[in-house]
Structure 1
Amino acid sequence: MEDDPFDAEIIQRLLRKEPWNMELTLVTTRNDYETALGRFHPDLILADNSLPQFDAGEALQFARQQSLYIPFIMVTGTVSEEYAVEMIKAGADDYILKDRLTRLPAAILAAINQQQAKKGKQEAQEEIRRSNERFLTLSRLTRDAVWDLDLTTNSLWGNESFHYLLGFTSPAVPALDEWINRIHPDDREKMASRLEEIRRGAILSWEDELRLQLPGGDIRTVLDRAYALKHDGGFPVRLVGALVDITEKRKMEEEQMHSRISQQKELTRAILEARELERNTLGIELHDNINQILASINLRLGYYLDEPEGNMDVVEDCRQKLVTAIRETRNLSHQMVMPRFSEKSLRDELYLLVENYTPAMSVSLEVRKMNEKKIPPLMKETLYRIVQEQLSNIHKHAKASFVQIRLSTSSGSVELLIRDNGVGFDPQLKRKGIGISNIYHRAESYDGKVEIVSHPGAGCYLVVHIPLS
């Protein structure tokens, strides 16, 4: 900005001697100056102090009003020291007298470096401001209790959720000791130890559960995550963390654990009851059936020994009774002893099981869609016992003439269907019976599900789904 062509030429020649890639634009009026700032976007302004109706002070003021922080150097012939100081205070970077233009290149470099440093500082401050703004916004939006501890001053900051979770009713920032006192006495030592490790630099983060003891006596369980921010020297100076209230989650997990324990106890009771029932059944079968047959044989043989002449039919009768006793013993052993499915086929054992009931009722067994290789041996035992249990229930109570059994596997599960045309029952009333309970417990031990559909006079439809994974 120069109205004297001779002075402008001297300045341009001086600057062109420097190894700079530059473009110069000369303006002589206010209008040209204002237009050039918008179109030319200069990196530096050199301004004479005394243009007609326009001076360097007005030029500087206009540039700053446009938020243009461009290096500004006043180049003038004469200027008072007071005016030069006022220009520097107003934002000028330097002033050069025209009789000392040799200083101009160095002054330009210094001004540009100074403005770049100012710009970098302003951008850094703006980024810090935006970062703090984002942090505060996120801390307001999240339900987590966010906190920030200055490790050099022990000053603490917390968001609204932090105050609410720890029961601080005052909007004033609590002291570190106040926060520590809200931690359950059994967990304070752990918290103090972690803080000490952070201060020493032994660890840079932690994630742990803590219990809070609030003023009203309420106990809350929180998950505390914290991360240390280091100074340039490598020492932690800040600790930023968040408390997540997991009280309800822990209560739910405890309830689920108690429920699983109760289910396990119920299953154990059912197993013990089933064993007692099996022993009672074995005792009854031995006493009322096999023992009676053997007792009859004993009497008949005693009669034969007293009068052997002409009584060979007694021996034949005893032999037939022994055959019956052997068959009954074999049937009883099949019911009581579990086949070894690591060596035997589930398909074959089910056919043998069904044969025991075919004299009393018609039983259809369908296993064409069963891929036995997919079923683990222990799961085969469960399926076998369920079929055995239900067939026994049908034989004893249903008065059925026909039973359908279908066992099939899919990509992820095995399905067992047992249907009969017997007298039926109300599943709600029979659910607590040992036989039905055993079926449910056996299926549930493999995360399986049991569905029973039955009505009095309408038979029974039993479906068991067990996942193979």
Structure 2
Amino acid sequence: MHQTNCMTMNYYYPKKPNIALQFRQVNTKTNSNTMHVQNSVLLDHISDAVIFTDMDLRIVYINKKAEQVFGIRSKDVAGSPFMEVIQYEYINDSPEAALQILQQTGSWQGKVVFTRKDKQQFHLLSTVTFARDEKNRPVGLIATLKDITAEEITNEAVRKNKLEQQKVINQLMIKTQENERNELGRELHDNINQILAAVKLQLEYSLENYDEEKNTIERCKENIEEVIREIRNLSHRLVLPRFAETSLQTEIQKTIDNILQQQPVYLDTHGLNETLIPDNIKETLYRIIQEQLTNIIRHAKAPKAIIKLHNTNASVVLCIEDNGIGFNPSQSRNGVGITNILNRVETYNGSVRIISAPGKGCRLEVSIPLKNEE
């Protein structure tokens, strides 16, 4: 004959205080800490999933809603370890953090995502508390899970819509900036450059007639020639190449040639097939290269830099690496140069990775998808 000790306890459902779930804890010499659920029918009529486990996290009871959500039957999983039967993704906290909060405060609440065997996905708001006996001793865990799938889908749709709107705004801003740059570049080349060229001709004529002013006029001529060169370089940087008439590789090499005296740069285009890259993405890559080379010249103090550019049918990958002084990316992320690069890449659903540390140089990795390109 086995000695049996019985203890009855009530757990009151937090959202419906008039509903009580009664458990009987039966301790015997052969079967210790066995939990029997009474009046569980009450919880089968509420809209939330409810799961009760013992302190070893073995399932004691699940209601009808939990059976529906998780695609299981209470009688099949009773006594099974909870973590083996139900595995979901924690959104707010890790499982370890959730357990720590539960132990410290007596309850935990957070969002989880569960994918059923039929691939249907549920977003759930989970609340976990201790079930206690009449002496306030914890004897198990109660988890209530509210189905918030429809709400989360709506929120995700709103988020995606806002993201798409921001991309359109970024595209318009970039287009406006490019138009302004092109106009400024044309003004510099067509107007100011022509005036300086005319002054240069006048000075050349004066050199033939005014020997006493020759040194002064010679210096003026040299200064004007320098201004013309600077304006030509500035115009080249401001005005986008017409990639319908020239190649991206050619224009990148021109940019490198213009700065070689300031910054040694090596170009590697092994694996590049420009016919697969739309002109607007070529423009984006060209501007990113200009922006990053400017950053390297101004800040990196790098003995050399390397540009690698290649693509497949699916994506184009740009890598710009230098062996300069480096920096902390988290502290420099709000800089104008990096912000411009991020905005340009995000417009085309691309990704940016910046790898750097003080004294370790910098590596900029950009990937832009080529499929579904609008």
TM-score, normalization by structure 2: 0.50
Structure 2 stretches of 5 or more lacking a match?
1-43, 48-63, 66-148
Larger radius of gyration: 1
2:157 matches 1:253: yes
**Partners in 2 of 1:308 and 1:421 — Cα distance?**
53
Paired residues of 1:278 and 1:336 also in contact (CA < 8 A): yes
Amino acid paired to 1:418: I
Please give the secondary structure, in 1, of the residue aligned with 2:155. helix
CA distance in 1, matches of 2:282, 2:163: 27
Q: State the distance in 2 between where 1:395 and 1:433 align.
A: 15
Count of residue pairs the alignment pairs up: 226
Shift of 1:386: 0.6
In the alignment, which of 297, 303, 312 is matched to residue 401 of structure 1?
303
Deviations 1:114-169 (A, max 9, x none): xxxxxxxxxxxxxxxxxxxxxxxxxx9xx9xxxxxxxxxxxxxxxx99xxxxxxxx
Contact 1:402 1:420 in 2 (8 A): yes
The CA deviation string for residues 213-246 of structure 1, in whole angstroms up to 9 with x for no partner, is xxxxxxxxxxxxxxxxxxxxxxxxxxxxxxxx84
* Identity rate, percent: 39
Specify whether residues 269 and 329 from structure 1 end up closer, same or farther in structure 2 by C-alpha distance, changes over 3 A only.
Answer: closer
Which of 299, 322, 325 matches 1:423? 325
Tell me if the contact between 2:265 and 2:306 (Cα under 8 Å) persists in the aligned partners. Answer: yes
Q: In structure 2, what is the equivalent of residue 366 of structure 1?
A: 268
Residue 419 (structure 1) shift: 0.5
CA contact (8 A) 2:167 2:346 kept: no
Query: What does the per-residue CA deviation read over 1:17-36, in whole Å, with 9 as the maximum and x for residues that have no partner?
Result: xxxxxxxxxxxxxxxxxxxx
3-state SS of paired residue (2:212): coil
- The gaps in structure 1 that reach 5 residues or longer are 1-139, 144-159, 162-244
CA shift in 2, pair 1:446/1:269, >3 Å: closer
- Out of 381, 391, 399, the position equivalent to 2:283 is 381
Provide the secondary structure at the position in 2 that maps to 1:310: helix
Q: Distance in 2 between matches of 1:275 and 1:341?
A: 14
The question of whether the paired residues in 2 share the 8 Å contact of 1:271 and 1:438 is answered with no
- C-alpha separation in 1, matches of 2:273 and 2:171: 29
Instruction: Work out the CA distance in 2 between the residues paired with 1:255 and 1:364.
Output: 41
Q: Determine the C-alpha separation between the residues in 2 that align with 1:423 and 1:268.
A: 35
1:447 equivalenced with 2:349 (yes/no): yes
Q: Residue 235 of structure 2 is aligned with which of 330, 333, 344?
A: 333
8 Å Cα contact 2:181/2:239 also seen in 1: no
The two structures, once aligned, show a CA RMSD in angstroms of 4.4
Q: How far is the alpha carbon of 1:451 from its aligned partner? A: 0.6
AA of the residue aligned to 1:349:
E
In 2, the alpha carbon distance for the partners of 1:387 and 1:375 equals: 16
Question: Aligned partners of 1:367 and 1:316: how far apart in 2?
Answer: 44
Q: 1:373 to 1:271 in 2, by over 3 A?
A: closer
1:313 is matched with 215
Distance 1:343 1:406, change over 3 A: same
What is the CA-CA distance between 1:450 and the residue it aligns to? 0.7
Tell me by how many angstroms 1:267 deviates.
6.6
SS of residue in 1 equivalent to 2:321 = strand
Offset at residue 252 of structure 1 (A): 2.4
Change in 2 beyond 3 A, CA 1:268/1:434:
farther
Please tell me the residue identity of whatever aligns with 1:445.
T
Mapping 1:116-195, distance limit 5 Å:
none
Separation of aligned partners in 1, 2:294 and 2:271: 25
Distance 2:297 2:345 in 1: 21
Q: Structure 1: how far apart are the matches of 2:248 and 2:163?
A: 33
1:438 deviates by 1.2
Task: Describe how 1:202-213 pairs up with structure 2 within 5 A.
Answer: none
Query: Which residue of the partner structure matches residue 175 of structure 1?
Result: none
- Using the alignment, how far apart are the partners of 1:370 and 1:344 within structure 2? 15
SS of residue in 2 equivalent to 1:451: strand
Shift of 1:247: 4.5
Task: Name the CA distance, whole Å, in 1 between partners of 2:276 and 2:172.
Answer: 28
Distance 1:355 1:337, change over 3 A: same
Alignment of 1:181-330 (within 5 A): 246-262=150-166, 264-265=168-169, 308-330=210-232
> What does the per-residue CA deviation read over 1:336-365, in whole Å, with 9 as the maximum and x for residues that have no partner?
000000111111111111111101121101
Superposition deviation, residue 276 in structure 1: 12
Partner of 1:348: 250
SS at match of 1:437: helix
SS in 2 for 1:311: helix
Structure 1 segment 68-79 matched on structure 2, within 5 A = none
Distance of 2:279 and 2:174 partners within structure 1? 22
SS of alignment partner, residue 211 of structure 2: coil
Q: Aligned in 2, Cα 1:345/1:259: closer, same or farther, shift over 3 Å?
A: closer
Query: What residue in structure 2 maps to residue 14 of structure 1?
Result: none
Amino acid at match of 1:252: E
1:317, CA displacement in angstroms? 2.8
Structure having the higher helix fraction is 1
TM-score by length of 1: 0.41
